[in-house]
């Protein structure tokens, strides 16, 4: 059983609260560069950051297990690192390495997928996020698999593209489509029957998560599998038509579309004996569509027909529930998380967020593991998210989260509590600067309540973030200046940033100080810091505590 050593100097506090302000990074750029945090009236947080012990933490690239420091962090890898105190190679890096080494194509699942379409003279389908955002997927992975499938004599390939506009510029789909169409033309010239068969925006179809809106998955099923939807002669025609019909439309919200031949027949329905690869590597938005493709007993919507196919995910998206059973690349094996250690020490824990980030303070925090280590010592609270665009209600469920969290703090039942407020990330992803500012200002009022209750209960509060987003709401050029659209307005940015995040302590006893002698500071230091505050030494392999003792 995993155990912890006591810190000889004892605990700093009997109750520790960790607040994760999702998407709230730090940059010296100001309001004119799209820094919603600088623009927002947040007297409480800004006072904490300026007057209380704080350090900057790296939250992107190699600091969270991504392939390079040009790669953005994200909520999933961020919470993996926060909860485990260490850095593990993550999905993008694992997939890229398996493609480069060829091991992906030598595995039994790839061979099974390919053998199915060759022996049955059927279709190989690729479905996934169509960009190089490297958060959920990478278009280069798709290209590599197409190339190998062609070389292995697959005759018919159909591609179902989910448009991004969230981890990449908001209206960038044609920048990915144009060179991809040229690639398809060259392959067709060599005799391969290959085409884009369907598509739509990632926030409109297919990529729901946490059971928030199964109707998204149903819409995707109708588009990709049944070939039911608005018909176009090509993906380009669909995208350009939707842009013209609604100039404000951005890629992530583009309606679904079906590509048809000259007779109006869909090019790529999924049928019996086909094979389907879902090429996203990140788990949260891959689980539901995987279940739709694989579960015999299924009640979330009427699939109309359930084709008998071979299905594989790029990775296994839920290891505890074995979703999906077939996958191409093994996910990182994250062990010895802080939550498991604390349970073994008999320390009760509390985790809360709303639906959009509930899985981050539970599943991802616990090393991509579903359920509890010990339910008698763990309380998980989910506040149901509204199913509307987040810029329409930028406060989201911050009040309800805070109401419930305050009661948990006052109960004194939980030595360790953690909470995720999604506003900076989820509203930031809409690209709506004004709404993001409003969301942050509402968040500040909630932090004010937490400061007061921490004073009353003598609770040590740490506040940090998992990555940046709201700190950079405009696309910046290489000189750091906003890019300007043809309308003379700054081009919105909807993706995460490469900026650090702040880690600040609110200590009612005003005693805590942070170290200045560490070689590097990152999200991986947070777990040891929390354990230190609770009176435990960091386990072997954990990054060091930030606390100066």
Q: State the pLDDT at residue 320.
A: 60
Say if residue 188 carries a ligand binding annotation.
no
Place of tokens 């297990």: 65
Helix (H, G, I), strand (E, B) or coil at 470: coil
Say if residue 102 carries a ligand binding annotation.
no
Check whether 143 has a pLDDT greater than 90.
yes
Check whether 549 has a pLDDT greater than 80.
yes
pLDDT band of 322, cuts 50, 70, 90:
confident
Distance CA 523, CA 48 (A): 19
Quickly list H helices, 330-470: 338-344, 355-359, 398-411, 423-426, 433-457
Say if residue 285 carries a ligand binding annotation.
yes
The secondary structure of residue 252, as a DSSP letter, is G
Q: Of 366, 373, 371, whose CA–CA distance to 347 is shortest?
A: 373
Say if residue 156 carries a ligand binding annotation.
no
- Alpha carbon separation from 533 to 192, 251, 316 (Å, rounded): 61, 45, 35
Say if residue 325 carries a ligand binding annotation.
no
Pairing label, strands 231-232, 275-278: unpaired
35 Rama class: left (phi>0) / alpha (psi -120 to 50) / beta = beta
Pairing label, strands 501-506, 460-464: antiparallel
Say if residue 202 carries a ligand binding annotation.
yes
Distance CA 491, CA 485 (A): 6
- Alpha carbon separation from 104 to 141, 280, 325 (Å, rounded): 11, 14, 16
Can you name the residues that pair with 351 across neighbouring β-strands?
Answer: 380, 418
Helix (H, G, I), strand (E, B) or coil at 499: coil
pLDDT band of 333, cuts 50, 70, 90:
confident
Distance CA 168, CA 128 (A): 15
Say if residue 136 carries a ligand binding annotation.
yes
Distance CA 63, CA 526 (A): 13
Domain 16-89+334-533 falls in which CATH fold? Answer: Alkaline Phosphatase, subunit A (3.40.720)
pLDDT band of 315, cuts 50, 70, 90:
very high
Q: What is the mean pLDDT of residues 115-129?
A: 98
pLDDT band of 397, cuts 50, 70, 90:
very high
Q: Of 539, 493, 533, whose CA–CA distance to 513 is shortest?
A: 533
Say if residue 282 carries a ligand binding annotation.
yes
Task: Record the tokens describing residue 92, joined without a space.
Answer: 């993008």
Q: Please, where in the chain does CATH 3.40.1450.10 lie? A: 92-329
What DSSP string describes 275-321?
EEEE----STTTHHHHHHHH-SS--SS--S-----EEEEEE-SBTTT
Q: State the pLDDT at residue 91.
A: 86
| Chain mean pLDDT for the chain | 96
Q: State the pLDDT at residue 410.
A: 98
Give me the half-sphere count of Cα atoms (radius 13 Å) on the Cβ side of residue 481: 4
Instruction: Answer for the pair 508, 450: CB distance below 8 angstroms, yes or no.
Output: no
Q: Please, where in the chain does CATH 3.40.720.10 lie? A: 16-89+334-533
Check whether 245 has a pLDDT greater than 90.
yes
Check whether 118 has a pLDDT greater than 80.
yes
The strand order across the sheet containing 460-464 reads: 54-57, 501-506, 460-464, 16-21, 416-421, 349-354, 378-383
Distance CA 443, CA 145 (A): 44
Instruction: Answer for the pair 461, 506: CB distance below 8 angstroms, yes or no.
Output: yes
Distance CA 172, CA 23 (A): 22
Distance CA 25, CA 15 (A): 26
Q: What is the mean pLDDT of residues 193-206?
A: 98
Pairing label, strands 54-57, 501-506: antiparallel
Check whether 345 has a pLDDT greater than 70.
yes
* Helices vs strands, H then E, count in the chain: 17, 15
Q: Of 257, 239, 121, whose CA–CA distance to 180 is shortest?
A: 239
Say if residue 167 carries a ligand binding annotation.
yes
Q: Could you tell me the end-to-end alpha-carbon distance of the chain, in angstroms, rounded to an integer?
A: 28
Q: Of 244, 324, 243, 338, whose CA–CA distance to 283 is shortest?
A: 324
Instruction: Answer for the pair 290, 328: CB distance below 8 angstroms, yes or no.
Output: no
For the question of residue 131 being annotated catalytic, the response is no
**Catalytic choice (13, 54, 75, 286):** 75
Instruction: Answer for the pair 441, 37: CB distance below 8 angstroms, yes or no.
Output: no
Task: Record the tokens describing residue 6, joined without a space.
Answer: 């006591």
Residue 259 phi, psi (nearest 5): -95, 130
Q: State the pLDDT at residue 317.
A: 85
Tens digit of each residue's pLDDT (9 = 90 or more) over 495-525 = 899 999 999 999 998 889 999 999 999 999 9
Instruction: Answer for the pair 354, 401: CB distance below 8 angstroms, yes or no.
Output: yes
CATH architecture of the domain with range 92-329: 3-Layer(aba) Sandwich (3.40)
Q: Going by C-beta distance under 8 Å and a sequence separation of 6 or more, which residues neighbour residue 117?
A: 123, 124, 154, 155, 156, 273, 274, 275
Instruction: Answer for the pair 357, 75: CB distance below 8 angstroms, yes or no.
Output: yes
Say if residue 283 carries a ligand binding annotation.
yes
Model-level pTM? 0.80
* H or E, element range at 527: helix 526-533
Q: What is the mean pLDDT of residues 361-383?
A: 96
Residue 112: CB atoms within 10 Å = 13
Distance CA 313, CA 292 (A): 12
Distance CA 53, CA 513 (A): 6
Say if residue 335 carries a ligand binding annotation.
no
Tens digit of each residue's pLDDT (9 = 90 or more) over 43-73 = 999 999 999 999 999 999 999 998 888 888 8
Task: Record the tokens describing residue 374, joined without a space.
Answer: 């010990």
Q: Angle at CA 80, nearest 5°, toward 210 and 42? A: 80
Q: What is the mean pLDDT of residues 20-49?
A: 97
- Alpha carbon separation from 325 to 168, 217, 285, 403 (Å, rounded): 30, 19, 16, 40
């Amino acid at each position: 059983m995993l155990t912890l050593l006591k810190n000889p100097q004892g605990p700093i506090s009997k109750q520790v609260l960790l607040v994760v302000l999702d998407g709230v990074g730090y940059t010296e750029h100001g309001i004119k560069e799209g820094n919603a945090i600088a623009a927002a009236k947040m007297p409480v947080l800004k006072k904490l950051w300026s007057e209380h012990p704080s350090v900057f933490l790296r939250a992107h690239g190699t600091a969270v297990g991504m392939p390079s420091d040009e790669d953005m962090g994200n909520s999933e890898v961020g919470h993996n690192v926060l909860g485990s105190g260490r850095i593990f190679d993550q999905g993008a890096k694992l997939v890229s390495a398996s493609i480069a080494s060829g091991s992906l194509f030598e595995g039994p699942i790839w061979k099974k997928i390919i053998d199915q379409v060759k022996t049955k003279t059927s279709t190989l389908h690729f479905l996934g996020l169509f960009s190089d955002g490297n958060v959920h997927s990478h278009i280069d992975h798709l290209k590599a698999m197409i190339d190998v499938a062609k070389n292995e004599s697959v005759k018919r390939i159909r591609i179902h593209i989910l448009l991004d506009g969230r981890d990449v510029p908001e209206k960038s789909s044609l920048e990915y489509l144009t060179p991809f169409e040229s690639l398809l033309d060259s392959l067709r010239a060599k005799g391969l029957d290959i085409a884009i068969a369907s598509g739509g925006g990632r926030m409109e179809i297919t990529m729901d998560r946490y059971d928030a809106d199964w109707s998204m998955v149903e819409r995707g099923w109708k588009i990709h599998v049944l070939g039911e939807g608005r018909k176009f002669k090509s993906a380009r025609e669909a995208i350009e038509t939707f842009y013209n019909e609604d100039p404000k439309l951005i890629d992530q919200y583009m309606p679904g579309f079906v590509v048809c031949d000259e007779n109006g027949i869909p090019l790529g329905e999924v049928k019996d004996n086909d094979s389907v690869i879902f090429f996203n590597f990140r788990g949260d938005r891959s689980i539901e569509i995987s279940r739709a493709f694989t579960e015999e007993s299924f009640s979330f919507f009427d699939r109309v027909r359930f084709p008998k196919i071979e299905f594989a995910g790029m990775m296994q998206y839920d290891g505890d529930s074995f979703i999906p059973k077939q996958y191409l690349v093994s996910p990182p094996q994250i062990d010895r998380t802080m939550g498991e250690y604390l349970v073994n020490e008999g320390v009760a824990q509390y985790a809360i967020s709303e639906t959009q980030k509930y899985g981050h303070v539970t599943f991802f925090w616990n090393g991509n593991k579903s359920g509890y280590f010990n339910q008698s010592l763990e309380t998980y609270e989910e506040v149901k998210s509204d199913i509307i665009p987040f810029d329409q209600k930028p406060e989201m469920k911050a009040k309800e989260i805070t109401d419930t969290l305050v009661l948990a703090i006052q109960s004194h039942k939980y030595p360790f509590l953690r909470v995720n407020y999604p506003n900076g990330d989820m509203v930031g992803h809409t690209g709506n600067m004004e709404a993001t500012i409003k969301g942050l200002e509402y968040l500040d009022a909630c932090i004010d309540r937490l400061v007061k209750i921490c004073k009353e209960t003598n609770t040590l509060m740490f506040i940090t973030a998992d990555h940046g987003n709201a700190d950079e709401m405009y696309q910046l050029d290489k000189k750091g200046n906003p890019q300007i659209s043809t309308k003379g307005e700054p081009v919105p940015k909807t993706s995460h940033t490469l900026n650090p995040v702040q880690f600040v302590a609110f200590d009612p006893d005003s005693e805590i100080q942070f170290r200045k002698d560490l070689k590097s500071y990152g999200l991986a230091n947070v777990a040891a810091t929390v354990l230190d505050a609770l009176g435990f030494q960091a386990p072997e392999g954990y990054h060091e505590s930030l606390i100066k003792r």
